[in-house]
Homo-oligomer: A and B are copies of this chain.
Amino acid sequence: MNDLSVFSDPRSVAVVGASADPAKWGYWLARGALRGADRRRVHLVNARSAVIEGVASVPSLADLPEAPELVVLCAPAATVPDVVDQALAMGSRGFLGITAGIDQIHDKPGLERRIAARVQKAGARIIGPNCLGLYDATHRLELAWGTFSPGSLGIISQSGQLGLEIAGLAAHAGLGVSRFVSVGNQVDVTAADLLGDLVHHEATKVVVLYLENFGDGRELVATMARLRGAGKPVVVLTVGASDASRAAARSHTGSLTSSLEVVAAACRAAGAVLVDSPAEAVDLAHLLHGSPLPHGRRVAVVSDSGGQGAVGADALSRNGLSVPRLSASTSALLADFLPAQAAVANPVDLAGAGEQDLNTYSRVVDVLLDSREVDAVVMSGYFGCYGADTPELAARELEVVESLAGAVTSHRRPVVVHSMSHDSEAVRSMRAQSVPTLHTIDAVARSLGLAASLAEHPGSRPDPVQVPHSEIGASADYLTARALVESYGVHYPGAVLVRCGDDLPRATAQLSAPYVLKAGWIEHKTEVGGVAVGLQDHAAAEDAFQQMHARLGDGDYVLEEMDRRPDVVELIVGARRDRAFGPLVLVGLGGIHAELYQDVRIALGPVTEAQAMAMLGSLQAFPLLHGWRGRPAVDLPAAARVVAATSRLLAENPEVLEAEINPLRVGADGAVAVDALVVLADTSTKRLCGVPLTGATP
């Protein structure tokens, strides 16, 4: 990646298109730029003369006493190409392209990209065009519409206004911004570049990223993993939950969106986390900013109101967290100093004791964190309001805040507060001291659930994978597919190739009945009657072959042993390549379930067996695998090995576009694949047909 420092702390800036009219963008950008005038030279350029905040503009770049390092382009679209060429000739190193519609005004499709090429050739860089600007708190670089308050949140957004919404919600919740970049059309500098630049941006502690298209998704995953490694988790927002948003994203950025499930899988792989909305992003950023992650899902709820405690427990449980009953000894420790009416099992209801003595809050939290029976504590209700409502209590409330912050630091477990006060001295003090405080229990519960997911996915740089030769493919015949999957250690029943009736006696002799006969060269065999099951003996096999051959003609038929084990669960295991994120692996319950109940899990491939076990464990159907209604549990590790193997198959063979086992029959004594579909890139079909057939397996 090239040096992007010109976009963080340029020695000089020129705003081309500066305006004195507060209704115009040129005014806001000029005003913002001038706020950094004690740190750098700020020049204003306008064809007609203008005076902004007491500073006069010059008519053209040529009238400046120096080449500005960074040029802000907010002049009319018609003038932009010339301005860029002029600045490059002077020696400018960076451009911030605000102006939109350059291609359209000039009626020259691709003009923006050609400008970018000229910029790059001159050793300079350009952000945008069609961006809303950037802000850097550390270097007092304010080149955007809107007003920012300094803080620790980094925002990189493909939609400028959505980025502003995130910044606004953050400000409303008392969270400032370290750096904001609206990436616009990304003709040169990409969101991934700007994201990577935040790894060493000291003020940034958490990043919110809004993207609609992911370009080289694998590289983006690597960058997000680097940020996570640097202790700066990335919160990702995207679109694609509805047909309408997918169509909209396509039309306004001209790019295809990846499916949400794929983006979620990519985030898990990177140690990042996908959220649904700007508000969720900001609430979570609040929690991640300075607070330790919860290394588990057990949460204690503390409230001075039974109702709020119960509502809190429900909210946490809806977000995948548990509110476990405390042990008798921990409950006894609490009962020791709480009134008789207090609830001490979890949720903990102080029953008025908090109001009587504010220290009760921190004493209870201490006991809970000491117990090691919970991974986080949520305080819900009136705390944060005491000092504001009763000034006599203000100082004591702040002391309790200190105690809470101390407890978080010493136990390295989060204490998250839902306060009925949106903003008070106590609330601000908590936020400043790693005790995240939000205004609704919904926000607390949702953020804590997401933070727990983040802790479960520490992220790592993905393995490099080869790109397929072609995106167009064709199905391999059944035996080839089977052989390839089998070569990754997946068990299949014995099988023998049968080309004509004469091959059958050898086949039935070599295999154990009952048999299955398959028309191996046909992709959708079942639909055309190309599968006959439950053939009890040679005669039945003979009969089935004659009938099928009469209907389907010559071809590579396969006679296979039939897996008849009882108490077997059928899974679907698949892998495919995503255009942006590369190999993906999928597992779900077979039959109607994957489709009707969307009970599938997707991960970026390749996955380890442990990761595959976690995928299986998070299926809604997991109880079915784990010993359903008294049946024996199935061999989960065997199923996980198949998932991992299928993911490796895709990652290691760029010519394989897709592989699917449907169903994989998993019983107490192992997993047996009874079908295989492999789609090969057109160019490589021939080569792979050379994979040797293992023939009958024991």
Question: Hey, which bits of chain A sit against chain B, CB under 8 A?
Answer: 22-23, 100-101, 104, 157-162, 164-165, 168-169, 172, 210, 212, 237, 239-245, 247-249, 251-253, 276-280, 301, 304-311, 313-318, 323-325, 340-341, 343, 345-347, 349, 352, 381-382, 390, 392-393, 420, 422, 439-443, 592-593, 596-597, 599, 620-621, 623-624, 628
Select A248's contact among B240, B242, B253, B313, beta carbons within 8 Å: B313
Q: Is the CB of B441 within 8 A of A341?
A: no
Task: State A315–B249 Cα separation when bound (angstroms).
Answer: 15
A326 to nearest B CB, angstroms? 10
Complex Cα distance, B341 from A252, in Å, reads 8
| A308 contacts across to B, CB distance below 8 A | 159, 161-162, 165
**This chain: copies in complex:** 2
A382 CA / B163 CA spacing, docked (Å): 12
User: What residues on B are CB-neighbors of A253 within 8 Å?
Assistant: 306
Q: Are B439 and A242 in contact (CB under 8 A)?
A: no
> Do residues B310 and A248 form an inter-chain contact, with CB atoms below 8 A?
yes
**Contact among B168, B241, B252, B442 for A343, CB-based, below 8 A:** B252
Contacting pair A597 B620 (CB below 8 A)? yes
Q: Contacts of A310 on B, CB cut-off 8 Å? A: 212, 239, 244-245, 248-249, 252
Shortest distance from the beta carbon of A315 to any chain B beta carbon, whole Å? 6
Instruction: Let me know if B248 and A22 touch, CB within 8 A.
Output: no
> CB-CB < 8 A to A277: which residues of B?
311, 315, 440-442
Q: Find the B residue at minimum CB distance from A392.
A: B23
A253 to B280, CA, bound (A): 33
| Given A159-B307, A164-B420, A165-B381, 15 new contacts (CB under 8 A) | A22-B392, A100-B341, A160-B305, A160-B307, A244-B317, A248-B310, A248-B345, A249-B306, A251-B345, A252-B306, A252-B310, A276-B442, A279-B442, A280-B442, A592-B624
Q: Which residues of B sit under 8 angstroms from A317, Cβ to Cβ?
A: 241-242, 244-245
Q: How far is the CA of A661 from the CA of B23 in the complex (A)?
A: 69
CB-CB < 8 A to A158: which residues of B?
307
Of the residues B104, B309, B393, B439, contact of A172 by C-beta under 8 Å = B439
Q: Closest Cβ of chain B: how far from A24's Cβ, in Å?
A: 10
Which residues in B have their C-beta under 8 angstroms from that of A279? Answer: 440-443
- B residues less than 8 Å from A341 (CB atoms): 100-101, 104
Question: Given A23-B390, A592-B628, A597-B620, does the pair A276, B315 have CB atoms closer than 8 Å?
Answer: yes
